[in-house]
């Protein structure tokens, strides 16, 4: 996982929508796909990118794969962003 993979993963609207959905709790790949117009395969590819960026966990249970948020990694992005806002505060 790199900060670049992270920002790249977050740069797609559909992937951000997936993350938003997962805020309400774990979901299977299929459940996630139902919320989109694009194909299940397309969603699977987006999930793979999110998984590689470690923004989500994937756990297989039976024939389903459950996806959940990994809040830890969001903190990496938070740290990056905060650098810019803290400067603003110092100026005041």
- Binding residues (CB under 7 A) for DNA: these are 8, 11-12, 14, 28-31, 33, 37-49, 58, 60, 62-65
Q: How many CB atoms lie within 10 A of CB 79?
A: 10
Angle between the 71-91 and 3-10 helix axes, to the nearest 10 degrees?
90
Minimum separation from the CB atom of position 33 to DNA (A): 7
Among 13, 37, 60, 61, indicate the residue that binds a second copy (CB under 8 A).
13
Which strands, in side-by-side order, build the sheet including 56-61? Answer: 27-28, 64-69, 56-61
Q: List Cβ neighbours of 77 (8 Å cut-off, separation of 6 or more).
A: 3, 6, 7, 10
Question: Could you identify the residue written with the tokens 């670049």?
Answer: 4
**Count of residues near a second copy by CB under 8 A:** 24
Q: Which does 53 bind (CB under 5 to 8 A by kind): a second copy, DNA, none?
A: none
Give contact residues for a second copy (rule: CB under 8 A): 4, 7-8, 10-11, 13, 16, 19, 23, 69, 71-72, 74-75, 77-78, 80-85, 87-88
């Amino acid at each position: 996982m790199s900060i670049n993979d992270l920002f790249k993963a977050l740069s797609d609207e559909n992937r951000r929508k997936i993350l938003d959905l997962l805020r309400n709790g774990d979901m299977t790949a299929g459940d996630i796909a139902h919320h989109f117009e694009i194909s299940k395969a397309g969603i699977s590819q987006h999930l793979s990118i999110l998984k590689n960026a470690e923004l989500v966990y994937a756990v297989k249970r039976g024939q389903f794969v459950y996806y959940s948020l990994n809040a830890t990694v969001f903190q990496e992005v938070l740290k990056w962003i905060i650098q810019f806002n803290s400067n603003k505060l110092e100026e005041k």
